[in-house]
Amino acid sequence: MRRLVVRCPICHTQKNEIVDDELLRLRKTIERGIVIIKISKGRVCEHPIYLEIDRNFSIRDTYSQERLSNLPKEQYPHILELKAY
């Protein structure tokens, strides 16, 4: 079981998110490289949160919507949305 601690970059709300099953479902895409996973608003706090995940399923960085939109597109070719439980 993989537990990721998600921390909102805007309001700093922190929550343990167990996303093992969801990540495994996305494994094929993740194994191609760095991916951005969207945590929908309402799940941790009222902000959508974007996690940069590497091949080892570790969080490399966390982005707000605004910061993500300032990145060049080629830096985040895959944006995956986690479905709610």
Give me the residues that bind Zn ion (CB under 5 A), please. Answer: 8, 10-11, 45, 47
User: Smallest distance, Å, CB 32 to Zn ion?
Assistant: 29
Q: Cβ closer to Zn ion: 7 or 78?
A: 7
Alpha helices (H) along 17-64: 20-25, 27-30
Shortest CB 48 distance to Zn ion, Å: 9
Q: Which residue's CB is nearer to Zn ion, number 25 or number 43?
A: 43
User: Is-contact 35 78, C-beta < 8 A?
Assistant: yes
**Identity at 80, one-letter amino acid code:** L
Minimum distance from residue 49 beta carbon to Zn ion (Å): 7
List the beta bridge partners of residue 52. Answer: 36, 61
User: How far is 32 from 48, CA to CA, in rounded Å?
Assistant: 24
- 55 vs 67, which CB is nearer to Zn ion? 67
